[in-house]
């Protein structure tokens, strides 16, 4: 099973949340935490801590990082929607940046619009500390068989707030 999917399944009931994402080094570098999971939706809320090292020349968060936060949220929501043992890969993503993002804390909230056998359609919003909308996204994700087998012990113990 996909390592991210293993982590999500561990917290799918909501017990132990918020929890740090430890299954992905990029997510870890963004200080990503699972704040809430809506298994029925399915949907997810992630939080991020974006530091100075993710800024571009104008002292705002690089657009690629904004996109990455939205992509994580939509992919994780899709991983909740697909059966165990399958994974997802982003086919396309449309991002609208509505305001500049400064270093700090962000929340990405994603939901699944439709989950088919081969494609999942997702939407997400990125909100800043004041709950202002920073960016929105829509994505299509392919349902795929993971390339690597899960690694026993690769998902570490939960870190609770």
Count helices and strands in the chain by DSSP H and E runs? 3, 7
Tell which residue, 112, 129, 107, has the closest CA to residue 33: 107
pLDDT of residue 115: 97
DSSP for 106-141 reads EEEEEEEEEE-SSEEEEEEEEEETT--EEEEEEEEE
Tokens 């690629």 sit on residue: 64
Tokens 């690089």 sit on residue: 62
Interval 29-79: pLDDT, tens: 999 999 999 988 899 999 999 999 999 989 999 999 999 999 999 999 999
Tokens 């996109």 sit on residue: 67
Averaged pLDDT, 84-104: 96
Higher local confidence (pLDDT), 69 or 147: 69
Whether 138 shows a pLDDT value over 60: the answer reads: yes
Interval 82-92: pLDDT, tens: 999 999 999 99
The correct answer on CATH 3.40.30.10 for the domain covering 3-144 is no
**Lookup: tokens for 56:** 């571009």
pTM, rounded to two decimals: 0.89
Instruction: Domain ranges for the chain, please list them.
Output: 3-144
Q: How far is CA 105 from the centre of its chain?
A: 14
Alpha-carbon span 48 to 71, nearest angstrom: 13
Which residues are 111's β-sheet partners? Answer: 43, 123
């Amino acid at each position: 099973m996909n390592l991210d999917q293993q982590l999500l399944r561990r917290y799918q009931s909501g017990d132990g949340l918020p929890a740090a994402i430890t299954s992905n080094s990029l997510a870890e570098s963004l200080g990503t935490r699972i704040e809430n999971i809506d298994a029925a939706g399915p949907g997810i809320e992630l939080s991020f801590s974006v530091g100075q090292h993710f800024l571009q020349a104008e002292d705002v968060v690089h657009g690629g990082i904004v996109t990455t936060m939205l992509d994580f949220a939509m992919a994780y929501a899709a991983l909740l929607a697909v059966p165990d043992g399958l994974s997802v890969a982003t086919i396309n993503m449309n991002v609208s940046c509505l305001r500049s993002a400064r270093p700090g804390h962000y929340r990405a909230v994603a939901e699944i619009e439709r989950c088919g056998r081969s494609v999942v359609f997702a939407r997400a919003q990125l909100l800043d500390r004041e709950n202002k909308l920073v960016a929105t996204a829509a994505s299509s994700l392919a349902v795929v068989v993971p390339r690597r087998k899960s690694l026993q012990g690769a998902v570490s113990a939960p870190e609770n707030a």
